A and B are shown apart, each in its own frame.
Chain A
Amino acid sequence: MSNFSEFTLTKIVAGIKKKEFTSVEVTNSFIQKSKNSKKLNTYITECFEQAIKSAKNFDEKKDFNGLLSGVPLAVKDLFCTKNVKTTAGSKILHNFIPTYESTVTKNLWSQGAFLLGKLNCDEFAMGSSNETSFFGNVKNPYGEKLVPGGSSGGSASALAAGLTPATIGTDTGGSIRQPASFTGTVGLKPTYGRCSRWGIVAFASSLDQAGPMTNTVEDCALLLQAMSGYDSKDSTSIDKKVGNYSSDLTEKVKGLKIGIPKEYRVENMPKEIDDLWKKGINFLKDAGALVKDISLPHTTYALPAYYIVAPAEASSNLARYDGVKYGHRAKGKNLIEMYENTRSEGFGDEVKRRILIGTYVLSSGYYDAYYLKAQKVRQLIKSDFDKAFGNVDAILTPSTPSSAFKIGEKSDDPVSMYLNDIFTVPVNLSGLPAISVPTGYDKNNLPLGLQLIGKAFDEQTILNLSYAIQKRANFINNFKIWWN
């Protein structure tokens, strides 16, 4: 049996379509690998039996029309999956079984893929290290003591360790791109409105967006194409034709103008991050792109604005978890006590902190000073990008200010944890697409990624540029398997 874990998604789909191997063979291989990798703690729910059934069913039907024919996929446990437990990494949903399927996963299944399992994540996607999950922290294949990033940490780790051919995550402030950078994988946050939010457990509605997480840029283009599309059930979904990202993928980026924003050269940035950035600039120059310095003057205000907007929306989005309709319920003498006990027992510390901050910034007398102010700043950040994109086709920055940090290193200081999202958050505030592509290593041999930010709905350009970087960086994940 081949080691399908070393195959790209693209190769697996092609192999199945050419009948070089069967869906059952592929699925068994990933199940075996997953079973041997419990130490990574990537799965919250395993759907292995059902996956085998689906694979057999696929092999019998032999319908090879889908973009993802016969492929088992494990997904972040934030996507509601019909009849399969969906927890959002929280105790408050520990027993919730949706009767419906999210639009994005439904899109994947209609392209021939099927569910392998539900992957660990920070509770309600609030976190940058996967340490806030009720189901325990996920470990990074690069080291037992290292976080995989977050919030899509289970997805990143499972992908890097070869437990799923590809996966999908959600990105509210960097939750796809940061873990991708920490695990040497590719992660893309699409334009806001490109993928439907219907059926995804909401964190911050104006920022949340689902996206692909893959081993290669080709895979990323393929998966993005499969999951995207307009959905009339989501009022913020945009009715715009989905590109043929996969077949249009090209490394020919000659003449494209790439902006390098000086504000991303932050204080105390490790030299190796700066070196990586230069390396990326050189790769793109080598590919014929034109590099120019630009300014995004309000960058420094993005993170504070984000930590107003996201908690404010979250405080409201999470009000529905009250022990009445689904999920955990605590005892209480009366209704109010039941609510308070349920939410106190059901939510973890970070989620509570964010609900409380969000409640505070929206509360009477503070709305203008915080929420309204943040929305004004958001306007300024967006217009920074609008101006910049008048002159350039894409923007290149580092994905993260550091490589993967140690478990527990930042968990006592919420603000130092938040600073991890410094390069990723402005993109969410502006609704733009961005991708993290693995480009090199730091001195400890930990992977580092670069981020390419594109114009709204121009995912193709950043995919092409990433493709050009990928060809030149020749990045290969080089961790040793320690978890068997």
Chain B
Amino acid sequence: MSEVKFDFFISGEKNKWEVIIGLEVHAQILSKSKLFSSSPTKFGAEPNTQVSLVDSAFPGMLPVINQFCIEQSVKTGLGLKAKINLNSVFDRKNYFYADLPQGYQISQYKNPIVGEGEVILDMPYGTKRVGIERLHLEQDAGKSIHDMDPENSFVDLNRSGVALMEIVSKPDLRSPEEVNSYIKKLRSIMRYLGTCDGNMQEGSLRADVNVSVRKVGDKKLGTRCEIKNVNSIKFMQMAIEYEAKRQVNLLESGKIIDQETRLFDTKKNSTRSMRSKEDAHDYRYFPDPDLLPLQLDKDLVEKIKKELPELPDQKKERFIKDHNLSSYEANILVSEKEISEYYEEVIKECDKKLATNWITVELFAVLNKKNLTILQSPISAKNLSSLIKMITSGKISGKIAKDVFEKMQLGDKDPKEIVEKEGLLQQSDPKELEKIILAVISKNQDKVEQYKSGKVKLFGYFVGEVMKVSKGKANPQLVNEILKKKLL
């Protein structure tokens, strides 16, 4: 594996450039109610129906924090192997926008609830550690709708006040591939923890991407641009490639990069400046006087730590150690919590190695083809397990198993029923097999002669003939044994 080398560089006309990427991921906490109010958070409700007087910033309204959201962010912090800050502070980030009813967002600035941690990526060229700078709690804004009226925008505050965790990475990522891997890993960790559903389509996972470039070998970071709210990994990767090339072109033609916020235009596949300079933002952060500092109880943190589920990295290690899987196989199986659970269900009663193959090759092919998730798999873990058991116990051959598997997808049928109904049980009766073999030999006397005079390759031909006659049901091992004797 180690011969694969990292090779994502931008080749300009003059130099070779390295791309430096940091991510600010916004993950919606799976809570019933909002961060500072008791209104619901469900996706897709009628506009402005999930809004309280607090979320819409009526005069005299005050925030009260949601305990569950505090716990979920601690849990996520622990999942990122990060430092939990027992003392943290909520600040106001001041700016005006139609979907920001308070005129400020409650966030955490200098003292976030979670400090430094890390995420481990398995790249083809080896293990990559991506540093986490911090995780903080903040409120989401509402939504402005621009395409319903030619002169006006409409404001829906349903999302206003929904709890987000902002997870800020260090500028440790170096390619769109690493970004892909990082987001998937982060998403997977949060789904294992149950703190965020990671649904990018519904906006419960979004990211701002910071991109800069530097000449290969340089130590100093270049000026970065922030690309806002790119809502799929694919677009993120496209945006990074575009933006890195733009910066390289600017630098190579002697220009400088303005530190600015840019928007990715999915139609044009390019980024453009989002806020004019004149309107440069100055967030005027200060501690929110409506809230007191948050002091976490050490015991609570310990309790959450003890109750943490097994996370992908640990699970992977266990799979390798206990199930004798390769690192590659283990990675695939732990990549999503549901896949690992499926796998563990399958191997309860059957061969682990075989199960791994069947899941990662046959089952994934079906899921990909039908565009299904593991939870929607047409074949249940129980039925896949009994199929594998029939192989290992010699009841059916691997080849027959594939046919059975095809039939199982049509409606999660029990493989035993299929085998019985269609008479696919493997022929393992030596006497029966001997009959078939003798028939094949007598039919092919010329080939027997050739075989005996040294053309040993013909052995495969005889096996094939026997299988043909038995309609694939003959036990290949027994066929081998008997054939060898008879051909002596």
Contacts and interface: CB of A to CB of B under 8 A. Distances in A.
Is this pair of chains taken from one and the same complex? yes
Interface in A65-96: 80, 86, 88, 93, 96
Contacts of B94: 315-316, 319, 362
Nearest to B96: A339
B289 A204 contact: yes
B478 interface: no
B284 A199 contact: no
Interface residues of A, number: 43
B217 interface: no
B155 interface: yes
B60 interface: yes
A401 B20 CA distance: 62
Contact of A88 (B59, B64, B284): B59
A325 B282 contact: no
Contacts of A363: 282, 284
A2 interface: no
Contacts of B203: none
A470 interface: no
Interface stretch (B101-109, B121-129, B358-366, B410-418): B101-109
B65 interface: yes
Nearest to A335: B98
Contacts of B98: 324, 335
A23 to B, nearest CB: 28
B286 A312 contact: yes
Contact of A198 (B61, B153, B285): B61
Interface string A235-257: 11000000000000000000000
B439 interface: no
A205 B64 contact: no
Nearest to B94: A316
Interface stretch (B6-14, B50-58, B228-236, B372-380): B50-58
A119 B161 CA distance: 33
Contact of B103 (A198, A235, A320, A367): A320
B90 to A, nearest CB: 10
B63 interface: yes
B274 interface: no
A351 to B, nearest CB: 14
B291 interface: yes
Nearest to A360: B284
B92 A200 contact: no
Contacts of A96: 59
Given A325-B56, A325-B101, A316 B286 contact: yes
A41 interface: no
Contacts of A40: none
A363 B284 CA distance: 5
A326 B292 contact: no
Given A235-B65, A335-B153, A80 B60 contact: yes
Interface in A274-328: 312-313, 315-316, 318-320, 322, 324-326
A206 B289 CA distance: 5
Given A235-B292, A316-B94, A335-B153, A202 B60 contact: yes
A204 B286 CA distance: 13
Nearest to A327: B59
Given A236-B292, A319-B94, A80 B59 contact: yes
Contact of A325 (B58, B60, B65): B58
Contacts of A7: none
Q: Chain B interface residue count: which class?
A: 20 to 34
A163 to B, nearest CB: 25
B258 interface: no
Given A319-B104, A325-B101, A199 B60 contact: yes
B153 A235 contact: no
A189 B9 CA distance: 66
Contacts of B102: 319-320
Interface string B70-105: 000000000000000000000010101010011110
A322 B103 contact: yes
A93 B103 CA distance: 16
A100 B53 contact: yes
A371 B292 CA distance: 18
Main secondary structure of the interface of A (DSSP, over half): loop
Contacts of B64: 232-235
Contacts of A129: none
B63 A235 contact: yes
Given A319-B94, A363-B282, A236 B58 contact: no
Given A198-B60, A200-B60, A319 B290 contact: no
Nearest to B99: A324
Nearest to B283: A364
Nearest to A103: B60
A11 B292 CA distance: 41
Contacts of A93: 59
B103 A319 contact: yes
A143 interface: no
A107 interface: no
Interface in B284-342: 284-286, 289-292
A223 interface: no
B288 to A, nearest CB: 8
B62 interface: yes
Contacts of A324: 98, 101, 155
Contacts of B282: 363-364
Chain A CB within 10 Å, residue with most, of B53, B56, B59, B63? B59
B57 A320 contact: yes
B53 to A, nearest CB: 6
A99 B64 CA distance: 20
Contact of A234 (B53, B62, B65, B96): B62
Contacts of A359: 284
B70 to A, nearest CB: 13
A320 B53 CA distance: 12
Contact of B96 (A80, A201, A319): A319
Given A316-B92, A325-B56, A235 B101 contact: no
Interface string A355-389: 00001001110010001000000000000000000
B109 to A, nearest CB: 11
Contacts of A364: 282, 284
Contact of A86 (B59, B153, B279): B59
Given A204-B289, A236-B292, A362-B284, A316 B59 contact: no
A261 interface: no
A26 to B, nearest CB: 29
Nearest to A206: B289
Contacts of A362: 94, 284-286
A339 B58 CA distance: 17
A233 B291 CA distance: 11
Contacts of B284: 315-316, 359, 362-364, 367
A11 B319 CA distance: 82
B62 A197 contact: yes
Interface in A182-222: 197-202, 204-206
A102 interface: yes
Nearest to B65: A235
B419 to A, nearest CB: 64
A348 interface: no
A98 interface: yes
Contacts of B289: 204-206, 236, 313
Contacts of A235: 62-65, 290-292
14 contacts: A80-B58, A98-B58, A198-B61, A198-B62, A199-B60, A201-B59, A232-B64, A236-B62, A316-B94, A319-B102, A322-B103, A325-B56, A325-B101, A363-B284
Given A80-B60, A93-B59, A319-B102, 17 more contacts: A96-B59, A98-B58, A99-B53, A102-B60, A202-B60, A232-B64, A233-B64, A235-B62, A235-B63, A236-B289, A315-B284, A319-B94, A319-B96, A335-B153, A336-B279, A363-B282, A367-B286
Sorted nearest first, the 5 A-B pairs with minimum C-beta distance are A319-B103, A205-B289, A362-B284, A206-B289, A199-B60
Interface of B: 53, 56-65, 92, 94, 96, 98, 101-104, 153, 155, 279, 282, 284-286, 289-292
